[in-house]
Structure 1
Amino acid sequence: MSADPRRNAAVSIIENFRRPLPIADHARGKRLAVTCQLKCANACTNPECNTSSNQTFQEVASAALSRRALLGLGAAGAVALAVGAARSQAPLSAPGSAGVGGAGAAFGRPAGGSLPFDAIAPVNRYVDDLVVPSGYTWQPIIRWGDPLFSNAPVFDIDAQSPAAQALQFGYNSDYLDIVADPSGKTGVLVNNHEYCNPGIMFPPTTDPAELRRRGDIFKAAQGMSVVEVTRRRTGTPWSYVVDGKRNRRITVETVFELTGPAAGSDLVKTAADPEGRWVRGTLGNCAGGTTPWGTILSGEENFNGYFAWAADTPAQKRYQSTSSTSTETGWEKYDPRFDAHNPDYVNEPNRFGYIVEIDPQDPTSTPRKHTAMGRFKHEGANVIVAEDGRVVAYMGDDERNDYLYKFVSKNRISGSRKKNLDLLSEGDLYVAKFRGNSPVGEITGTGALPADGLFDGSGDWVALTRNGESAVPGFTTEEVLVHTRLAADAVGATKMDRPEDVEPNPRTGKVYLALTNNSARSAATVDETNPVTGNRYGHVVELTETAGQAGTTFGWSILLLCGDPAVFANSYFGGFPKELVSPISCPDNVAFDSAGNLWISTDGAPSTIGYNDGLFLVPLEGAERGHVQQFLAVPREAETCGPVIHDRDGLVFVAVQHPGEGGTFAAPTSLFPDYGSTAPGDVSSAPRPAVVQVYRA
């Protein structure tokens, strides 16, 4: 065994956990406590931010309230390009176990697909392996700390510095895409870096100077990475390029331009930026999207946790319910802009919580934050093109009992990339209001289907801005776009079970919304679109625009009520026999393959159903509709992020976030992705978030 004490401790712990263990007591919450603390500032255990008295849609229906006239959205689009690199790793658990994923029978791919596989068996939450189907293998493309430039040092966990991290791949990978060049042999990989975990990045310390130095490393480790990639030919694995001409790190110190109606308003001005137009940094970057014109969108999600927060006004409380005087990063101790108690920087939090747009082709370009798309805890944004040529972005606000939004551009897409770069700066913002079509008494909170056999109904897109101006009485345009949650409360939007990723299917135009969970959903507030009391497992909603791509109304139905059918008897899988599906919990991100099948990555399965998080295929049409099949499982305590499906290339890509999150620097609980390798640059004694690709062996 290695002499490295951290590796010895990790191996000892992991070997103990390789045994199958009982999971009867696995779930009190939805994530590890440390993940909740670092990622979202304990949003689910703090008092609820949404204290509005918005009625459920069942109450709306029974009261026969009038509906608003709205402006709508569209659906059409482009399949995102993406890929990765290669490593052989034998599955720890036997794939395709009987009774899981269709009794292990290989899924018959639709025409054009090239990823037949046997669904893997669920992987116990203590297993520290990335498990892929029989006949497939995997390898990291790039890991936390890998140098992007030749003047960056090889990563050394014991010799980290702010200067080195600013030239290295960032921490905790989330949204992922690879935008291929026309040759198919080169491209750029773009990845979000959501947050840091000091407990496994560094040994404990109380020294103020060392804590400040680490705080500066955290600033450099977050944000985004743009990295050139290359491969021998189409269909082969990718590797990243050191000193690529497009390589770039975007961090908490990168300057962004504010665009849209709220730019320059008094709500976003600070002592450091009296014009209210230039913001240093991006925070909490979660999911995202790739636009038809080739730019990357990134959602600023849990930005509130980075500020010492006053929470003494309704607007502040709506984004964080409780006051705080310190943060996990400690930035407020030496950087005044992170102390929102300071009168000079009380508006600094108002400069975060937007959709960020970067141009991965131009490392000299200034990234932008689009105020016209609203300010909330953006999971991401995914753009499609309506029939009339306007572009539309769907967005979820990832907090319990918050809302589903969409943005419709003022102008139409054109053949000019330069003009398209301004499309998201002007337009109108809408929030969703759902109605069910079943009697209130049939929605029991148990997940039992109503008499018509479906949870379904209709809905409206309620305008928050119209023709670029406020459509909400009592709110200025700037207030709508900076205090968007309050504006959505005012128009009676439907409270949802943590809206996360929401994406249109590029083949059908239908829209799929991942609702991760909401254990606080009470029996008094269940409705047909959120029909489970204390919803721990989450669900997926399918929307269909009913009045054209830019219409104002939609139909909807629940595709999946997630869970382990052996435990949650009322789980539902689009009508497919539940005894044949892979257990799935806490849907987070969604993607599509070339045939239009849905792929779902999860975040929270270990704490809810006792299995590691993973990536799942879900056909949407025909006899296989709803047949959930697990394709891979990520290692212990990790979250599956940023799925990209290149089935025609035979490639699948995921970002593995926070592996070994519950461990410590001295005693890690994961060795992903190096697992004892002694190759140069490998740090086998510590977990490293990474982007991986899976391909046929």
Structure 2
Amino acid sequence: NEMNGMGYIVEMDAYDKTRAIKKRTALGRYAHESAVFGKPVVGQPLAVYMGDDSRNEYIYKFVSTAVWAAADATATDRIAMGDKYLDSGKLYVAKFNADGSGQWIELSIANPAIAAYAAYKFADQADVLVNARLAGDAVGATRMDRPEWCSVHPGTGEIYFTLTNNSNRRVEPSGSSQSAPDAANPRVYTDMKGTTAQAGNPNGHVIRVKEGTLGATSSGFSWDVYLFGAESGAAAASVNLSGLTADQDFSSPDGLAFSASTGICWIQTDDGAYTDVTNNMMLAGVPGRVGDGKKVTLNHPRANGTTLSVDTYVGAAATADTLKRFLVGPVGSEITGIAETPDGKALFVNIQHPGEGTAAANVGDPAKYASLWPSNAGYGAGKRPRSATIVITKNDGGRIGT
């Protein structure tokens, strides 16, 4: 049963090491990359949004049975609050429609599509949660391009999800591991890295969702693509749909967080497609709202000479004022993880596995390391590269991004 013990959200009390860690099984079992709460409203259930970090997997929402009480924000027994809101509720999976709408479909054994699913016999509701991916298959959820992080806009309440990339997106899929383009994952193209052809959706995108009038309990939503990752010189009609320039182009968005202080959307990359040009990076975005852009039709040629046309919805084009490259990491590193002080004046960012491409045969020779960071930034010359957390402040002591 070891495989069934993996793939859960686990809660710990960072302020009390004596408290037992809790596995929150009601949120489903799959390759969780992150989980984020929607904006809490007193008297209404809490929503938790999540992505399954695998190609052609799903986006999920959990809605608590308990309704939010403001006093719980400062409760001293924090694990008990998790028990209250995260152990009982309903798990939903997202279906993105071609017209820019979408539905949250409840993953329940009472759903006939799940109860009578031919490919797998679900025993009970616990089985549905343990095999949430199969339940998503049963109800026809939308297969996404690796949903990783998600974050909620502090002003609008809209939910943003990074879709990092998908090498298994094909105009004409062959086999169950591949998927055709659809409205929410519309691009299929080839990106050259030197002499290597990278097929599918190598650069990824960021999708966003606006819940219906019922908020957390809404079963419907609208959506568009906030940003498409791309090289600035890529075809504007089929790849660089967000109009990125050389000062802001990026690939494989992964980490994602909104600043509670400024509302800036911080986007971090974990890329292998564009690293022949630049290292992984963090960008600062100032998003608008779902629906602030336009409908675009992508025309994909088939082998038989016909065309597969896919409509999608693209947010307002990026400008120099709404999207900027904020930092670029060392060679071989991933930029991942971000936190800020409550006043927004200090930003904490993780630099993960710098020099990762160093060959095993060269580990004993610092002269052959792919990166020396942070030793070449004051840590001590000639030492092996290390993951580290950096702290960013402004010279004038102000809020980051102002």
Cα pair distance change 1:645/1:565, threshold 3 Å:
farther
- Aligned position for 1:484: 132
Which one of the candidate residues 565, 586, 591 is aligned to 2:257? 591
Which one of the candidate residues 277, 282, 287 is aligned to 1:615? 282
Letter in 2 for 1:637: G
Cα pair distance change 1:573/1:647, threshold 3 Å:
farther
Letter in 2 for 1:472: I
In the alignment, does 2:37 pair up with 1:383?
yes
- Aligned position for 1:252: none
Letter in 2 for 1:420: M
Cα pair distance change 1:492/1:608, threshold 3 Å:
farther
- Aligned position for 2:3: 349
Q: Any idea what SS the aligned residue of 2:114 has?
A: coil
Deviations 1:632-656 (A, max 9, x none): 0110000000123459443222111
- Aligned position for 1:473: 115
Which one of the candidate residues 121, 145, 160 is aligned to 1:497? 145
Which one of the candidate residues 53, 57, 71 is aligned to 1:402? 57
- Aligned position for 1:46: none
Q: Where does structure 2 lack aligned partners over 5 or more consecutive residues?
A: 117-121, 173-179, 189-199, 293-315, 396-402
Q: Which has the higher contact order (CA 8 A, sep 6+)?
A: 1
- Report matched runs for 1:404-483 at 5 Å: 404-414=59-69, 415-416=71-72, 417=75, 418=77, 419-422=80-83, 423-437=85-99, 457-465=100-108, 472-474=114-116, 475=122, 476-483=124-131
Query: 1:563·1:609 contact (CA, 8 Å) conserved in 2?
Result: no
Cα pair distance change 1:608/1:491, threshold 3 Å:
farther
Letter in 2 for 1:424: L
Which one of the candidate residues 656, 662, 672 is aligned to 2:357? 662
Query: 1:662·1:669 contact (CA, 8 Å) conserved in 2?
Result: yes
Q: CA deviation at 1:484?
A: 1.2
- Report matched runs for 1:18-97 at 5 Å: none
Which one of the candidate residues 517, 522, 547 is aligned to 2:165? 517
In the alignment, does 2:184 pair up with 1:541?
no
Q: CA deviation at 1:580?
A: 6.8
Alpha-carbon distance in 2 for matches of 1:600, 1:691: 17
Q: CA deviation at 1:687?
A: 1.0
Query: 1:498·1:518 contact (CA, 8 Å) conserved in 2?
Result: yes
Cα pair distance change 1:505/1:472, threshold 3 Å:
same
Which one of the candidate residues 672, 676, 689 is aligned to 2:373? 672
Alpha-carbon distance in 2 for matches of 1:683, 1:348: 43
Q: CA deviation at 1:390?
A: 1.5
Q: CA deviation at 1:658?
A: 1.0
Q: CA deviation at 1:458?
A: 0.6
- Aligned position for 2:218: 551
Letter in 1 for 2:89: G
Query: 2:62·2:90 contact (CA, 8 Å) conserved in 1?
Result: yes
In the alignment, does 2:27 pair up with 1:373?
yes
Letter in 1 for 2:387: P
In the alignment, does 2:359 pair up with 1:693?
no
Q: CA deviation at 1:621?
A: 3.0
Alpha-carbon distance in 2 for matches of 1:429, 1:672: 43
- Aligned position for 1:225: none
Cα pair distance change 1:427/1:647, threshold 3 Å:
closer
Query: 2:53·2:148 contact (CA, 8 Å) conserved in 1?
Result: yes
In the alignment, does 2:287 pair up with 1:633?
no
Alpha-carbon distance in 2 for matches of 1:491, 1:676: 52
* Worse-superposed segment, 488-497 or 406-415: 406-415
Alpha-carbon distance in 2 for matches of 1:428, 1:507: 26
Cα pair distance change 1:609/1:542, threshold 3 Å:
farther
Q: CA deviation at 1:459?
A: 0.4
- Which has more strand, going by share of residues? 2
Letter in 1 for 2:33: E
Q: Where does structure 1 lack aligned partners over 5 or more consecutive residues?
A: 1-346, 438-456
Alpha-carbon distance in 2 for matches of 1:513, 1:489: 20
Letter in 2 for 1:366: A
Q: CA deviation at 1:548?
A: 2.3
Query: 1:585·1:609 contact (CA, 8 Å) conserved in 2?
Result: no
Cα pair distance change 1:587/1:364, threshold 3 Å:
same
Q: CA deviation at 1:666?
A: 1.6
Letter in 2 for 1:427: G
Query: 1:644·1:654 contact (CA, 8 Å) conserved in 2?
Result: yes
Query: 2:207·2:223 contact (CA, 8 Å) conserved in 1?
Result: yes
Deviations 1:187-238 (A, max 9, x none): xxxxxxxxxxxxxxxxxxxxxxxxxxxxxxxxxxxxxxxxxxxxxxxxxxxx
Query: 1:606·1:637 contact (CA, 8 Å) conserved in 2?
Result: no
Cα pair distance change 1:430/1:676, threshold 3 Å:
closer
TM-score (normalised: structure 1): 0.44
Cα pair distance change 1:586/1:392, threshold 3 Å:
same
- Aligned position for 2:337: 642
Query: 1:638·1:660 contact (CA, 8 Å) conserved in 2?
Result: yes
Letter in 2 for 1:557: D
Query: 2:52·2:59 contact (CA, 8 Å) conserved in 1?
Result: yes
Identity %: 37
Alpha-carbon distance in 2 for matches of 1:349, 1:481: 14
Q: Any idea what SS the aligned residue of 2:330 has?
A: coil
- Aligned position for 2:348: 653
Deviations 1:296-344 (A, max 9, x none): xxxxxxxxxxxxxxxxxxxxxxxxxxxxxxxxxxxxxxxxxxxxxxxxx
Alpha-carbon distance in 2 for matches of 1:573, 1:643: 27
Query: 1:564·1:609 contact (CA, 8 Å) conserved in 2?
Result: no
Alpha-carbon distance in 1 for matches of 2:276, 2:151: 26
Query: 1:428·1:466 contact (CA, 8 Å) conserved in 2?
Result: no
Q: CA deviation at 1:573?
A: 6.2
Query: 2:109·2:115 contact (CA, 8 Å) conserved in 1?
Result: no
Two-structure CA RMSD over aligned residues (Å): 2.5
Structure with greater Cα Rg: 1
Q: Any idea what SS the aligned residue of 1:675 has?
A: helix
